[in-house]
Chain A
Amino acid sequence: MRRFKVFKSLVRDSLDTITQGSRKYHLWMAALTFMMLVGMYCYSIQLDEGLSVTGMTDRVSWGLYISNFTFLVGVAAAAVMLVMPTYVLKDIDFKQAVLIGEGLAVAALVMCLAFVIADMGGPSVLWHMIPEIGVFNFPNSMLTWDVLVLNGYLFINITIPLYILFRHYQGKEAKSKVYIPGAFISVFWAVAIHLVTAFLYQGLQARPFWNNALLGPRFLASAFAAGPALIILVLAVIRSSTSFKIQDKTIKKIAMVVTVAAQINLIMLISELFKEFYAPTHHSESAYYLFFGLHGKDALLPWIWTAIPLNILATVILTFHKLRNNFKVLYFACFILFIAIWIEKGFGLIVPGFIPGPYGKIAEYIPTGIEIGVTLGIWALGAFVFTILAKTAIGIEIGKLRYKK
């Protein structure tokens, strides 16, 4: 009963905090709301007319939505990079950052689910996918595995921070006995959401571009680069706009993680390129299309040739301690790395899988305005969710929000 009362007061207090803030904060939230509304409008058109309003066709049947979904799974898994040292290895440095990381994971997962639903042809019969009520083709379909692990991960990432914040809200310490097992599970779980998402593509013998054993590991490496890079950027914003203290040491440690992951990612990229281009086979055509275009069709060239230099530049910058320890340079490197991986693991991965088609047909894919509108709307939704979560968490952590008996 008491818990319930505390919880009610927590909800009320957090509602208070998220509706109050500086002018800048209100502007930010208003902008996000506007973008969400635009996204919803675009989605309503899509619902009405069908997926034909997107650039997808029978030849390229997944596009921007699934690209973003794939990438965001990686971002969601990144929270684990912070969880591990903090809870499990008892490294206090990350403690303040970890709640932010988990908030980010929740936001990313919300976006993932939104993207999957946006991509469905029949959202009104989505209940067919609910186990027990519908038919859940488990364990045959990797998509059902993905549904399970994503929802499980969402659950973990909501409950752990909620527990910790709930205790702190009442001015009590969170009991490590309670949350450490959860943290352990979430570490493995993060790896699982990644591998399973990679297996979604890796398991298709029809698409040689995806059907390679390196896909899973590369997913992990690129995710552990892009996710923490985003966390660094978010922490930078939080540091400058709230009184929440984040030590330089924390950011430097996360930067270390980003660096190692980016280096490994680059090594795997080289290995992949070597295989595709040293002894090109019939199966290398997708890679050829991606990097050089095929038969004069080259829609993806600008994308990939933005991503590769940015990726290399960021990795080089991060590799030198001098550069990495200069925060301005670090933020820049993180930003370009994030963009590079977004392109590479989104567009650069999904679209070439379909090109050329099974019988060599090259049909290009260009997203339409409506598709882009929905995508931006979903990103705004993610940012919105994250802002709300972070604002409450920070309020509790700096002691502004406390339960009054």
Chain B
Amino acid sequence: MSSDNKKWFSLNIGRKNQETSSSCSCGKQSGGCGGHDHEEIKHIEERKDGFEQVFDVKMNRRSAFKQLAASLAIGAGAVSTSCSMFSDDESKEKAQIDWEEQFKGNYKLMTDEEKKATVDRLVRSYQLRTGKTISMSSKNAEENVLFGYAFNISKCQGYMDCVSACVEENNQDRNSQMQYIRIHEMKDGNGFNFNESDDNYYHEVPAEGHFYMGTQCFHCDNPPCVNVCPVQATWREDDGLVVVDYDWCVGCRYCMAACPYDGRRFNWSKPEVPEEEINKNQHYLGNRLRKKGVMEKCTFCVQRSRAGKNPACVEACPTGARIFGNLLDPNSTIRWVLENKKVFRLREDLGTEPKFWYFMD
């Protein structure tokens, strides 16, 4: 997404605004404006076309493959009916769903109908297995939305309410105590010295002479984790969220090695969430239940943010240290913070362009 006359990548928040209005309304964060930006938009759209071409071909092949899978499934169904006395419609349906799920394509390349179909299958499968109904969304990114996040270091007291809210909201594995957010406790007077910080403290907070700083996936605008994935199981959505298709990931963990911010978590064993604690309001790309051997990460609570709500961590924070919003909306709080506070980001030298800013009062 970088334009030709820039030597390195830079986040262009005003980009989408340019599309609708020709006047220059972009803030300081945008790389530039005017004709140059128009070129950039065209450039992006051209790339979209190319992508769609590939995408169409892929879908054809995939549907051929799917037919093959379906015929196999019918074969398997026939075998199971002839062999088993106990087979009923439900178990046949379960088998059918399992087959189709095993051989479905990459969510990123699916059409909206296909997305809906897989979501329906997953909901139905959950119903067949547990008798409970969940709601799962496949809502796409909205136009003119680019999510961003700001963290107020002066306010954070290290209560970790965000961490528990996140775990509950996102159905993370309770056994391994997986947490997307890490709160680093740092000593006053040492600056941002992560080496001497502690991200695993168990004492009363705020501790005397310390300050706190949270990290999670920063939803980089130029995410190194996305490039390295051999199967495109992780990608950047149009609203800036970096997401993972848990069913497409092969578990190579290359993205984990590529992330400079410790943003990713892997399911080393089968994740378990007690039935009564499962959050049933889910999104395909977000908090639906995962399986073992796949990658996951913070999605800025896609199931909430795309429904117009704040992520769970923002809502849970008792001090108001966390701010979330649409970077393309000039009236949003996040834009106000970016324009009026001295903000900075971690390891900017890497060119990853995180959409996660820190600031102090």
Contacts and interface: CB of A to CB of B under 8 A. Distances in A.
Contact of A144 (B102, B194, B230): B230
Interface residues of A, number: 47
Interface in B11-59: 58
A121 B269 contact: no
B257 A50 contact: no
Contacts of B102: 124-125
Nearest to B249: A122
Given A206-B259, A359-B194, A143 B228 contact: yes
B253 interface: yes
Interface in B234-254: 247-254
B292 interface: yes
A137 B230 contact: yes
Interface string A95-123: 00000000000000000000010011110
A358 B218 CA distance: 13
Contact of A359 (B58, B199, B270, B292): B199
B270 A207 contact: no
Nearest to B179: A58
A207 B254 CA distance: 12
Interface stretch (A71-79, A126-134, A183-191, A221-229): A126-134
A198 B262 CA distance: 22
Nearest to A295: B195
B268 A205 contact: no
B262 A358 contact: yes
A143 B254 contact: yes
B343 interface: no
**Chain B binding site: helix, strand, loop or mixed by DSSP?**
loop
A121 B248 CA distance: 11
Contact of A206 (B61, B176, B195, B350): B350
A13 B36 CA distance: 71
B219 to A, nearest CB: 16
A189 B184 CA distance: 47
B256 to A, nearest CB: 5
B8 to A, nearest CB: 12
B257 A125 contact: no
B349 to A, nearest CB: 9
B214 to A, nearest CB: 11
B266 to A, nearest CB: 6
A204 interface: yes
A121 B262 CA distance: 19
B232 A61 contact: no
Interface string A38-79: 000000000001111000111001100000000000000000
Contacts of A143: 228, 230, 252, 254
A141 B227 contact: yes
Interface string A134-159: 11110011111001000000000000
B252 A119 contact: yes
A58 B229 contact: no
A353 B257 contact: yes
Interface in B178-231: 178, 182, 184, 194-197, 199, 215, 224, 227-231
Contact of B268 (A52, A137, A144): A52
B270 A50 contact: yes
B169 to A, nearest CB: 20
B248 A359 contact: no
A361 interface: yes
A129 B184 contact: no
B199 A361 contact: yes
Contact of B232 (A56, A137, A147, A356): A137
A357 interface: yes
B277 to A, nearest CB: 21
A128 B105 CA distance: 8
Contact of A136 (B105, B195, B231, B267): B231
A205 B351 contact: yes
A50 B292 contact: yes
Nearest to A138: B230
A128 B103 CA distance: 9
A202 B227 CA distance: 14
Nearest to B62: A133
A192 B62 CA distance: 32
B227 A140 contact: yes
Residue with the greatest number of chain B CB neighbours at <10 A, chosen from A121, A143, A147, A205: A121
Given A135-B109, A360-B195, A51 B268 contact: yes
A50 B232 contact: no
Contacts of B261: 206, 358
A133 B233 CA distance: 14
Given A125-B250, A356-B195, A204 B176 contact: no
A207 B261 CA distance: 11
Contact of A132 (B61, B176, B230, B295): B61
Contacts of B249: 121-122
A62 B264 CA distance: 14
A354 interface: yes
B257 to A, nearest CB: 6
A204 B250 contact: no
B248 A125 contact: yes
Contacts of A205: 224, 260, 350-352
Contacts of A357: 262
Contacts of B230: 129, 136-137, 141, 143-144, 147
Given A58-B265, A205-B260, 9 more contacts: A51-B251, A125-B247, A143-B230, A200-B254, A203-B228, A204-B228, A358-B260, A360-B194, A360-B195
Interface of B: 58, 61-62, 65, 102, 105-106, 109, 176, 178, 182, 184, 194-197, 199, 215, 224, 227-233, 247-254, 256-262, 264-270, 292-295, 350-352
11 contacts: A51-B268, A51-B269, A58-B265, A116-B252, A122-B294, A134-B231, A135-B58, A135-B248, A141-B227, A206-B259, A356-B195
The 5 closest A-B pairs by CB, nearest first: A121-B251, A121-B293, A206-B260, A52-B269, A52-B268
Interface of A: 49-52, 56-58, 61-62, 116, 119-122, 124-126, 128-129, 132-137, 140-144, 147, 200-201, 203-207, 285, 353-354, 356-361
